[in-house]
Amino acid sequence: MLFNLQQILELADAKRIAIGAFNVNTLQGIQAVLEAAEELKQPVILQYAPVHGAFIDLDLLGPIMVELAEKAKVPVCVHLDHGEELSVLHQALEIGFTSVMYDGSMLSYEENVAYTRLAVEMAAEYGASVEAEIGAMGREEFASLGEAQEGEAISGSYTDPDQAEDFVDETGVDALACSFGTVHGLYLTEPCLDFERIKEIRDRIGIPVVMHGGSGISAEDFGRCIACGVRKINYYTYMAKAGGEYVKEMLSRTEGPAFFHDISVWGKEAMKEEVKKAIQIFSDL
Ligand code: 13P
């Protein structure tokens, strides 16, 4: 059943858990996420990032995401991740997405506010929610497209709690992606998270905090982030890696010809297991 982001995050707030937001760019990815959520009877967020247009177009995968989410036995929010143009937000909303992220984190603060406001107005016409971002989490969004820059390079761009409060007041967004030590993609060194910053931001903004770059964070750190107010956790790299590594192993054990239908099933099953592990941690199961 379809929920928008605000509705699904209310469920998370009531239980003091976080909801996993998994990026998909294949039918097998969608199946892996929905089957995992249904088996665990937990709400989930299915998301598509335009940077994955290199693998599949939003116009092709988006309607399938919406249709399968509608049929799911658990609450599912279908979300656009990192939309940098209002036109792609509009495209997702027309397809039936129930939530969109406007990512103006590379713009000036004033421009980010102005465009995010337009995104909020546009989404409201569809009954959809909006996530926005201030601060930066590394521009290399996904491991497959390059490794994340880390440490000192990003600590200068951690989200400022004062600015976060003003931003939420001025834009009316439903959730805010914040920078507090996570980065997209594979971590080269142990991540060191600023828990106090999350807590302060959450207290000041009064809406859910979103963590990007969930892959590579320990179960203990996830727990602390959730206790501080994180309610949505974006997770992709480890899911894709689990699928890819399992396919590699199965192919190395395969004698004779390899068939693509086997590869797609192996990939899906391994991604599903990884998604289940993540949901169990986020939901404290
Ligand atoms: P990871 O690929 O590092 O898990 O991050 C995903 C993400 O934040 C998508 O926006």
Tens of pLDDT, residue by residue over 203-256, are: 999 999 999 999 999 999 999 999 999 999 999 999 999 999 999 999 999 999
Indicate if the pLDDT at residue 135 is higher than 90.
no
Report yes or no on whether pTM surpasses 0.85.
yes
> How many angstroms does the Cα of residue 278 sit away from the middle of ligand 1?
13
Position 156 scores a pLDDT of: 65
Mutate to test the pocket of ligand 1, among 19, 22, 23, 241 (most ligand atoms within 8 A of CB): 23
Which ligand 1 atom sits nearest the alpha carbon of residue 182? Answer: 3
> How many angstroms does the Cα of residue 183 sit away from the middle of ligand 1?
8
Q: Catalytic residue among 13, 57, 81, 262, which?
A: 81
As a whole-number percent, the residues of the chain with pLDDT over 70 amount to 93
Indicate if the pLDDT at residue 136 is higher than 50.
yes
Q: What are the residues whose beta carbons fall under 8 Å from the beta carbon of 271, sequence distance 6 or more?
A: 28, 29, 32, 33, 239, 240, 242, 243
Residue 114 contacts residue 155 (beta carbons within 8 Å): no
Mutate to test the pocket of ligand 1, among 100, 140, 210, 215 (most ligand atoms within 8 A of CB): 215
Q: Which residue pairs from 156-161 have beta carbons closer than 8 angstroms and sit at least 24 positions apart in sequence?
A: 158/194, 158/197, 159/134, 159/135, 159/197, 159/201, 160/134, 160/135, 161/197, 161/200, 161/201, 161/204
Nearest CA to ligand 1 atom 1: 213
b/e code 197-206 from CB counts within 10 Å (16+ = b): bbbbbbeebe
> How many angstroms does the Cα of residue 137 sit away from the middle of ligand 1?
10
b/e code 89-119 from CB counts within 10 Å (16+ = b): bbbbbebbbbbbbbbbbeeeeeebbebbbeb
Mean pLDDT of 166-184: 96
State the CATH class of domain 5-282: alpha beta
Answer yes or no: 203 catalytic.
Answer: no
pLDDT band at 142 (very low <50, low <70, confident <90, very high): very low
As a whole-number percent, the residues of the chain with pLDDT over 90 amount to 88
Angle at 95 between CA 92 and CA 96, to 5 degrees: 90
Place of tokens 């967020």: 45
